Amino acid sequence: MTAVLRALAFLVRLAGFGLAAGAALAAVLANGGRFSDRLDVLTHFTPIWLTLGMVGLIVWVIGGGRSLMRLTPIAAAVAVLASGALMLPELTRAKGDKAPAEGETLKLVQFNLWENNSNPEASARWVLEQDPDIVTIVEGYEVHGGAARLLRERYPYAVTCADPLPCSTMILSKKKPVRRNGLGGGVSDANLPAAHARFAGAKGAFDVFAIHYTWPIPAGPQQQQSKRFLKVLDGIDADNAIVGGDFNSTPWSFSLRRLDAAIGMERRTRGQATWPAAPITRYKIEPPFPLLAIDQVYAGKAWKTVSVKRGPRLGSDHYPVVVILKR
């Protein structure tokens, strides 16, 4: 029995070492995203590397914390420090100026409705309860029915990414835009699934964009989309513009940091994780909380942030985001 217990303890320590060492390697390589888009893919999972490093250390301690695997604490420390180096800029990012007491207020909901939305009625009902002025929608496959169609009575104006044709990325509004256009078709190297609408406001005109980036895997296409989007923004009054979308890119990534630096607007979402919300894997495991902060909202410096909140779990695989701005 003693031999069996020793063998089990060894396996536990081995598992702890494997978790800590694997997390350390991934976190260190992720920092190479500064120079490589391929390595930048690893940055999106930084909170996971941080967690696995700490879990590995705990498992190692449970297993007795002895043997040649005493390198486990060092590996865990490397995982934590390398992950922390990626997350710290976002966690310590300065907040913008406080919103004025008076001014023009705008409420926006950013929501990836998901083409496989299991409860479009609940999704639409929640949006209507929030009563935003503008909704930026991703995967709102209106041609199949669903939440986007259910919202059209209150939001009669829809600008899509293939405007005036149907397209899954769209801007819904109560107010008629003074200018509108679609910026592309499906998610690919060549296309930019984004919609653009200009509205007349109490403080002057302002532009709103809804956008859906492709996945960061494989590396390259997402970065090309950013370059094209920045060209679209040339000539736009960035101080008064607003962008909402599923960027499929987290604040820990160097790709999103580069966009932050170049877009001329402030990202108002601050690490709010929004995915996954729906059951994942073929076993339909329901995640207890979201892991990846991939839905983002940007606004120009004329807009001050009143609040940014994550919505509830609905029928989508994304949580919605509610942003209230004032200028």
DSSP reduced 3-state for 292: strand
**Chain length of the chain:** 327
Residue 188's pLDDT band, with cuts at 50, 70 and 90, is very low
**Is residue 143 packed enough to be buried (19+ CB in 10 Å), middle (13-18) or exposed (0-12)?**
exposed
Q: What is the DSSP-derived secondary structure letter of residue 238?
A: G
Is the four-CA dihedral 264, 212, 297, 181 of positive or negative sign? positive
How high is the pLDDT of residue 143? 53
Report the distance separating Cα 327 and Cα 311, nearest Å. 24
**Is the pLDDT confidence value at 185 over 60?**
no
Residue 189's pLDDT band, with cuts at 50, 70 and 90, is very low
- For the whole model, what pTM was predicted? 0.92
DSSP 155-195: --EEEEEETTEEEEEEEEESSPPSEEEE--SSSSSS---EE
What is the tens place of the pLDDT at every residue in 125-152?
999 999 999 999 999 976 556 788 889 8
How high is the pLDDT of residue 68? 54
How high is the pLDDT of residue 62? 80
Report the distance separating Cα 66 and Cα 24, nearest Å. 20
What is the tens place of the pLDDT at every residue in 21-47?
999 999 999 999 999 999 999 999 999
Average pLDDT over every residue of 98-108: 88
Report the distance separating Cα 140 and Cα 124, nearest Å. 11
More confident of the two residues 89 and 13: 89
